[in-house]
Structure 1
Amino acid sequence: MRGERDGTPDGAVRGGRGAQGAGRRWTSLRVRLIVVFGLVALTAAVSASGIAYWLNREAVLTRTQDAALGDFKQEMQNRAAALPLRPTQEELRHTAELMAQGGGGYSVVLLGERDAGKPIVGVSDPDRFTLRDVPASLRAAVDEEQELTAGNRHSYHVFWLRTNLRGTPYLVGGTRVIGGGPTGYMLKSLEPERQDLASLGWSLGVATLLALLGSALLAQVAATTVLKPVHRLGEAARRLGEGKLDTRLRVSGTDELAELARTFNGAAESLQKKVADMSAREESSRRFVADMSHELRTPMTALTAVTEVLEEEQDSLDPMVAPAVTLVISETRRLNTLVENLMEVTRFDAGTAKLVLDDVDVADQVTACIDARAWLDAVELDAERGIVWRLDPRRLDVILANLIGNALKHGGSPVRVSVRTSGDDLIVRVRDHGPGIPEDVLPHVFDRFYKASASRPRSEGSGLGLSIAMENALVHGGDITAANSPDGDGAVFTLRLPRDGSSAAAGDGEGGDGGAGEGGTGRDGRGNGRGNDGSGDDGERDSGERRARG
């Protein structure tokens, strides 16, 4: 309740707005952009709508109450002040009705005194407004006489407040006639103003919703503008990772995304150049190894023939010359094996290694490999009979010769070979009882020319046997793994071959020379012939670069 001097309504309702956080983690950049745009637009729209609503509300209510209170004050001066000092109830009622009919749209209650201490009341509309409807606080403020000062020239003022009666908002005001006379109270309904403000609120709410939808559309456009280059960049990076090194982005504009595209193109071009240079050097190296191997094959044929003659005449040679001849024979065989292995590696690198598939009794094949190299006394065979697998018998012989020869040379007797099946896979395990493989060597046992001991850079083998064994397993669609025995007694090499190598053969084609490996070429086409040195690779737990199965 306030006086007319400040005009500020008392008891005004202040609304609060709580913010609720979703707490959800968004992973999509598009969704996050839309959410951020939406929040900004919502905040701006709600703030603008709230301010507009509040300003309009105050303006409407202030205009209505000023007009009503001004008219009521004027009526009090013109009509109530003209009443006698001790009016009758009928006079009060008639005056109240005249004041209410003045066009202000309010009801009036006039309170006078018939005698001292005997109040009488005149009401314009008893069904709408009586003295009981006047709040006690307002009556007390109206009846309180003000002290006259330089800034206050009147002892009584008009006071008002907004209240709700029977669910309807009203403006209640009151004052009294200065110098003696009745006290008047007025009641004006604010229902029309509430309806107008409700319509305004709905309009502002619709405007806020439209602003939110518009911001979502703008966010979608902005996200598309930003994310389309990012998506193209991601696709280009994926193609680049797949090996399509000629992938480039179309650059347009001068913004940060365009600069990013230029940087990507520069990086892709540099990568393509480096890969091309490396491929050219690798191809040159392969060609050199292949050419060297082929060029060495002719003199090696002559040397092999000479060594065979020397070997036949070895018993009749001078004892002083015999050691040198023995060394020449041994080194010539080693050199011949190295040349054959290099040619085999060249075939694998060039992708020309072919499978010649046949139905093979695996137990018989393993027995023939061991027997051909005179390993029967040093190798224990545990093979299930009747296991028939479709594979290249000569390449299987090369794999077995290298694995078993490696175990005999660098492991410890006895060497145990077990043959089992597991689902559609053939599992061949070669286990020795030596010191095992050092943990730092295990990852490199199939690397080409790898030597387990730096103190033995030169050995009888070439360091290619396990590599060739792995390549022969891969060309079948299988693989070889190396590990130490769980009980710490020796190493275990496990060969896994699928039941039918037809799928691998279909990719490679039929026919072709598969190479000997360190175990030597088979003379009867099944890998049963004795190899160059009658054993597998030098097995320095070495071998070649393992190529990924393609």
Structure 2
Amino acid sequence: MTEPHDKPRGPVAAKKAFLSGLRFTSLRLRLVVVFALVALTAAVSASGIAYWLNREAVLTRTQDSTLSDFQQEMQNRAAVLPEHPTQGELQHAANLMADSSQHFSVLLIGTDENGKRVLGNSDLDAFTIGDVPRSLQHAVNDKQKVDDSNKHAYHLYWQRITQDDTPYLVGGAKVAGGPTGYMLKSLEPEAKDLNSLAWSLGIATALALIGSALLAQAAATTVLRPVHRLGVAARRLGEGKLDTRLRVSGTDELAELSRTFNKTAENLEKKVADMSARDESSRRFVADMSHELRTPLTAITAVTEVLEEELDAETGSVDPMIEPAVRLVVSETRRLNDLVENLMEVTRFDAGTARLVLDNVDIADQITACIDARAWLDAVDLDAERGTMALLDPRRLDVILANLIGNALKHGGSPVRVAVRVEGDDLVIAVRDHGPGIPEDVLPHVFDRFYKASASRPRSEGSGLGLSIAMENAHIHGGEITAANSPDGGAVFTLRLPRDASPLTESAQDEAKDPDSASQEDGVAK
């Protein structure tokens, strides 16, 4: 069996656990139904067999006793009558026979000296010859051959009949050279006893069914509790709590399953730890490399700026033969500087150290400032109403806009249109160009790091990190960027951000104060 390291539960947790225990899951319901069906089948079978055996025993005992008594009375009373008895003699004999311990009605039939049928009836109102089945009459009066295997010409026959919903036993026998006798015995007392037995067995079956359902519930709870704990542990493991373990006791299959789960979780935790360590090492290497490159890049950038000023000077102090090389050095130095800055930004996102610095900004002013700072005013059309305010990080919004608009100008061509609209609590900024659009096979990868669609963008000189950084900045705001092709031509990048990003900073502060809060839930502990 398995048992988690449970912590003390509060009233709310206890109430939830109680309600969860009352709720039938499909597996629990199936177990209860199967138990109930098995118990019902067993109880009904046992009750049916018990009823049938008792019924046969009761009826056979009453039947044998009655027929034996009737046969004895036929020998003692009817056999001594003359061959042609009178009605009075038959009546007297029938009354004597009916006065036996079994209390049955008797009908004697004989013939007088003239061959006329004579009847003697102990209970004329209750028993007549019409109550005797014809098949029984024929069998009783059928004379059989006497031989070594059959010593009597006539035999005793009986049959059960029902009249007015009351069961009866009818028997008949004939005395050789004498009258024929029939008896009628009511089986109503036995029927009542059997009905009482049937009710008792039915109640016992119902109680057995209820008991089996309760036992099934208890058994299902016993079996499913470890399964439920295993499910909770698996869910916690899926949520990233790799230190989740189950306390194992016993040697049954569930205990073995729990041991397998613990071993799997341990191996997974070890592998994830190794991968995290390698990932951290890679991020640290990129961050250190970028940091180390900044110092020489600063000096190189200063030199290239001087060279660029010499190129632009009217004195023409730079040899025309080396002017292309100087311009290439200036361009590549600027590109290398941008790449280092982008790499450092990416490492901040990967390390989870990127934070929002919020400010209440006018979106139209913010976009105008971004365009003006990069001298794009003549190439960009802005459709935004002033006074649209949002609580965002201005620097990160500027990074997003610069990447989206710069990407549109570089690869799509002007004019680039930037449209701003408000949808509920969201701010939507659409950047559309008038270029050839983005190939369908490229659309799923435009935000991948270092991805360049060289076939469709042969003039691309970027690092392949701009759109990825823009997406990361949108995510840190709780937003999203989507890329699509406009039906009228050109590509459309749509930025959707919440107008108020303060809840994200509050949650980040809470996680920073209590980083282990997520692992403090009830259930399977560390």
CA 1:217–1:501: 2 relative to 1, 3 Å: closer
Q: Equivalents in 1 of 2:257, 2:396: separation in Å?
A: 51
Matching residue of 2:159: 161
Matching residue of 1:223: 220
Partner of residue 273 from structure 2, selected from 272, 276, 285: 276
Contact 1:123–1:129 at 8 Å: present in 2 too?
Answer: yes
CA 1:492–1:126: 2 relative to 1, 3 Å: same
Matching residue of 2:41: 43
Matching residue of 1:203: 200
| 1:444-471 CA distance string (max 9 Å, x none) | 2111111223798995221111112112
1:299 is paired with a residue of what secondary structure? helix
Alignment of 1:24-173 (within 5 A): 28-173=26-171
TM-score relative to the length of structure 1? 0.83
Which residues of structure 2 form unaligned runs of 5+? 1-23, 510-526
**Residue 333 (structure 1) aligned with residue 334 (structure 2):** yes
Q: Equivalents in 2 of 1:354, 1:258: separation in Å?
A: 46
CA 1:508–1:244: 2 relative to 1, 3 Å: closer
| 1:504-550 CA distance string (max 9 Å, x none) | 343457xxxxxxxxxxxxxxxxxxxxxxxxxxxxxxxxxxxxxxxxx
**Residue 365 (structure 1) aligned with residue 366 (structure 2):** yes
Matching residue of 1:378: 379
| 1:168-215 CA distance string (max 9 Å, x none) | 21111111111x111111111111211222222222223322332332
Instruction: Figure out how many residues of one structure are paired with residues of the other and give that number.
Output: 482
Matching residue of 2:324: 323
Matching residue of 1:497: 497
2:353 is paired with a residue of what secondary structure? coil
2:38 is paired with a residue of what secondary structure? helix
CA 1:192–1:436: 2 relative to 1, 3 Å: same
Matching residue of 1:193: 190
Matching residue of 1:181: 178
Q: Percent identity?
A: 77
Contact 2:105–2:185 at 8 Å: present in 1 too?
Answer: yes
2:158 is paired with a residue of what secondary structure? strand
**Residue 214 (structure 1) aligned with residue 214 (structure 2):** no
Q: Equivalents in 1 of 2:164, 2:365: separation in Å?
A: 108
Matching residue of 1:526: none
CA 1:251–1:173: 2 relative to 1, 3 Å: same
Deviation at 1:431, TM superposition (A): 0.8
1:421 is paired with a residue of what secondary structure? strand
**Residue 286 (structure 1) aligned with residue 287 (structure 2):** no
Matching residue of 1:436: 437
Contact 1:353–1:508 at 8 Å: present in 2 too?
Answer: no
2:404 is paired with a residue of what secondary structure? helix
2:248 is paired with a residue of what secondary structure? coil
| 1:277-307 CA distance string (max 9 Å, x none) | 1111111111111111211111111111111
Q: Equivalents in 1 of 2:455, 2:257: separation in Å?
A: 48
Q: Equivalents in 2 of 1:480, 1:412: separation in Å?
A: 20
Q: Equivalents in 2 of 1:102, 1:419: separation in Å?
A: 114
Matching residue of 1:14: none
Contact 2:411–2:460 at 8 Å: present in 1 too?
Answer: no
Q: Equivalents in 1 of 2:47, 2:336: separation in Å?
A: 93
CA 1:459–1:432: 2 relative to 1, 3 Å: closer
Q: Equivalents in 1 of 2:508, 2:157: separation in Å?
A: 105
Matching residue of 1:19: none
2:302 is paired with a residue of what secondary structure? helix
1:82 is paired with a residue of what secondary structure? coil
2:154 is paired with a residue of what secondary structure? coil
Matching residue of 1:506: 506
| 1:152-174 CA distance string (max 9 Å, x none) | 22221111111123332111111
CA 1:187–1:506: 2 relative to 1, 3 Å: closer
Matching residue of 2:16: none
Q: Equivalents in 2 of 1:68, 1:359: separation in Å?
A: 109
Counterpart residue identity of residue 265, structure 1: N
Matching residue of 2:256: 259
Counterpart residue identity of residue 60, structure 1: V
Contact 2:443–2:484 at 8 Å: present in 1 too?
Answer: yes
Q: Equivalents in 1 of 2:95, 2:455: separation in Å?
A: 122
CA 1:104–1:358: 2 relative to 1, 3 Å: closer
Matching residue of 2:352: 351
Higher RCO (C-alpha 8 Å, min separation 6):
2
Contact 2:411–2:457 at 8 Å: present in 1 too?
Answer: no
Counterpart residue identity of residue 284, structure 1: S
Partner of residue 294 from structure 2, selected from 297, 310, 318: 297
Q: Equivalents in 2 of 1:455, 1:480: separation in Å?
A: 21
| 1:417-476 CA distance string (max 9 Å, x none) | 111222222211111122211222212211111122379899522111111211222222
Matching residue of 1:453: 454
Deviation at 1:387, TM superposition (A): 1.9
TM-score relative to the length of structure 2? 0.87
Q: Equivalents in 2 of 1:283, 1:419: separation in Å?
A: 39
Q: Equivalents in 1 of 2:122, 2:68: separation in Å?
A: 19
Deviation at 1:388, TM superposition (A): 2.4
Which residues of structure 1 form unaligned runs of 5+? 1-25, 510-550
Contact 1:352–1:508 at 8 Å: present in 2 too?
Answer: no
1:227 is paired with a residue of what secondary structure? helix
Counterpart residue identity of residue 99, structure 1: M
